[in-house]
Amino acid sequence: MRTLILTLPPFQGGVPAKTRILANELRDRGHDVTVAWYAPLSSHGFLDAPLWRIATGARPHSETGRCFDDTFRSVAVGCWLPELEFTYYLPSSRWRQLIASHDRHVAVGGTTLVSYPLLKAGVRHLVWCACDMLGDRLARRQAMPLARRLFDRAVVGSVQAAMEHRILAGPARIATVANHGRRMLLALGGDPGRIGLMPIPTDPHRFQPPTQPAEAGTIGFAGRPNDPRKNVPLLVRAVALARRQDPHLRLRLTGTPDAALTAAVTAAGGGDWVEFTGELDHHDLPAFYGSLDVFAIPSSQEGFGIVGIEAMACGVPVVSTRCGGPEDYVQDGVTGILVDDNSEAMAQALLELTADRDRRAALAAEARHLAAGRYAPEGFRHALAEHWHAVWGETP
- C-alpha 200/C-alpha 22 separation (Å) is 9
* pLDDT confidence band for 139 (50 / 70 / 90): confident
Q: Is pLDDT above 90 for 308?
A: yes
Tell me the CATH number for domain 218-373.
3.40.50.2000
Task: List beta partners, residue 320.
Answer: 297, 338
Mean pLDDT of the 43-54 span: 94
Nearest to 281 by CA among 254, 299, 302, 310: 254
Q: What is the CATH number of domain 2-201+376-392?
A: 3.40.50.2000
Band the pLDDT of 77: cuts 50, 70, 90. very high
**What stretch(es) of the chain map to CATH 3.40.50.2000?**
2-201+376-392, 218-373
Instruction: Give the integer Cα–Cα distance in Å for 19 and 6.
Output: 9
Residue ranges of alpha helices (H) inside 268-305 are 285-290
Tens of pLDDT along 269-279? 999 999 999 99
- Predicted pLDDT at 143: 86
Q: How far apart are CA 144 and CA 131, in angstroms?
A: 21
Q: What's the confidence (pLDDT) of residue 363?
A: 97
DSSP per-residue letters across 222-249 = -S-TT-GGG-HHHHHHHHHHHTTT-TT-
Q: What's the pLDDT at 138?
A: 86
For residue 142, what pLDDT band results from cuts at 50, 70 and 90? confident
3-state secondary structure of 263: helix
Query: Has residue 190 got a pLDDT over 90?
Result: yes
Question: What is residue 14's predicted lDDT score, i.e. its pLDDT?
Answer: 86
Average model confidence (pLDDT) across the chain = 95
CA atoms within 13 A on the CB side of 303: 30
At residue 165 the predicted structure's pLDDT band, cuts being 50, 70 and 90, is very high
* pLDDT tens-digit series, residues 329-371: 999 999 999 999 999 999 999 999 999 999 999 999 999 999 9
Give the pTM: 0.90
What is the average pLDDT across 316-325? 96
User: Tell me, what's the pLDDT at 361?
Assistant: 95
Q: How many helices (H) and strands (E) does the chain have?
A: 16, 14
Give the model's pLDDT for residue 86: 96
User: Tens of pLDDT along 85-116?
Assistant: 999 999 999 999 999 999 999 999 999 999 99
C-alpha span between 253 and 219 (Å, rounded): 9
Q: What percent of the chain has pLDDT over 70?
A: 100
